[in-house]
Amino acid sequence: MENKSFMTTTELAKLLGISRIAVFNKIKKGQITASKVGGTYLIPTEQASYALGRSLSENQKRKIDTAVAKAVKEYGETLRLLGNE
């Protein structure tokens, strides 16, 4: 991949090994951030890493942190006991 800040839906689809329609669906669901310029969606190249699962967005990190904190609060003693086995 060239060193550029945006890619097209076609480029991302090829990189992910999915169809352009699947990329459009991910954009529509908010799973991939894209900007529409004319009739073309431009996707920040950093979104390719998110789509490939290689990195997490700040929102995803916050959701994970919240879930972990909730689990520790509710099951902390059980988790501690399991860790001692």
Alpha carbons within 13 A on the beta-carbon side of 49: 9
| Predicted local confidence at residue 31, as pLDDT | 85
How far apart are alpha carbons 33 and 30 in whole angstroms? 6
**Which pLDDT tens digits describe the chain residue by residue (85 residues)?**
455 789 999 999 998 888 999 999 989 998 888 999 998 999 998 877 777 766 566 787 788 889 999 998 998 888 888 888 7
Distance from CA of residue 37 to its chain's centroid? 22
Q: Helices 20-28 and 9-16, interaxial angle, to 10°?
A: 110
CA-wise closest residue to 47 among 38, 35, 39, 36: 35
Q: How many CB atoms lie within 10 A of CB 23?
A: 25
| Predicted local confidence at residue 16, as pLDDT | 85
